Amino acid sequence: MALEVSIAVERWPIAGTFTISRGSKTEAAVVVCTLADGTFTGRGECVPYARYGESLESVCAEIEALRSALVNGATRDDLPALIGAGAARNAVDCALWDIEAKRSGKSVVELAGLSPLRDLTTAVTVSFGDVETMAASLRSFAGRPLIKVKVGGENNAERIAAIAAAAPSSRIILDANEGWTEANIIENMLAAAKAGVVLIEQPLPAGKDAKLAEIPHPVPICADESAHGTDDLPSLIGRYDSINIKLDKTGGLTEALRMQQRARALGFGVMVGCMVGTSLAMAPAMLVAQDADFVDLDGPLILKQDREPGLVFNGSQVSPPSRDLWG
């Protein structure tokens, strides 16, 4: 049955400002791909990321270029030959999963051959700022079991110590977003180890991270910007201990599930992360996150308001998506 393809840009205000080492944002600008056949509808959401050369315009154009193929019956298995990995393919891949599930009368979980989904504990994120502001944010989250803290720039030893003191009972992930250097990484890692940090995410820039194979890892190091898809994994051995799987990088749920299996076979730990988006973007990632060591799917909590229906959060616990949302 032929599909109708719709592409929409949506803007969701952030509660305050979200800041990482390379900049700040006050809204989540997302692209939603909707596929409809007259009876059933499937949706997928993606977040274009300028770090990877993506924009709202370029992602919409990439999806538009797939219109003819989708109308003529292209499937998820066809997508890698039609479009590269990234945000656009993610939106289309997840929309195809969604409409396939609705047409079959089965859930995406069943179609993927997975066990029933369970509630998960997600990290909550503290954005980058001055030490006093960050410490205050940490104290407000001090009862949460897992906190991800954006770091970068200079004076990280002081920042890390203040972070640890502000939430002493929480497990803390530091996300440098490529903001550390070869000159300060050892000092920063030793400060993180002293503070009891459980994971350091992408300390050095992608493509300039060879030093990670030469130095001790007193705290495990997770690849984010250095890990896009399954084919990247062999080159990360010896440099990283874990990888962060994000559907906007892999190009959708199909590749994310494949990447997770391969990562485990190679001995990597797995984190499942997200861009700042709505529950529609988080829902497919919940399937991959069932077998993750660390879950970071708090994107909707950063927004002023999520879409309805959305994922249900109870503190740091997030429940599987309803069929009305996705899947």
Q: So which residues are the catalytic ones?
A: 150, 246
Q: Which residues contact 17 (CB under 8 A, 6 or more apart)?
A: 24, 25, 26, 127
Q: Which of 185, 182, 291, 139 is nearest to 174 (CA)?
A: 185
Per residue, the 3-state secondary structure of 142-166, as one string, reads CCCCEEEEECCCCCHHHHHHHHHHH
Q: Which of 173, 121, 175, 176 is nearest to 144 (CA)?
A: 121
Element (H, E) at 20: strand 4-20
Indicate the burial class of 324 (C-beta count within 10 angstroms; 0-12, 13-18, 19 or more): exposed
- φ/ψ region of 178 (left if φ > 0, alpha if ψ in -120 to 50, else beta) reads left
Element (H, E) at 69: helix 67-71
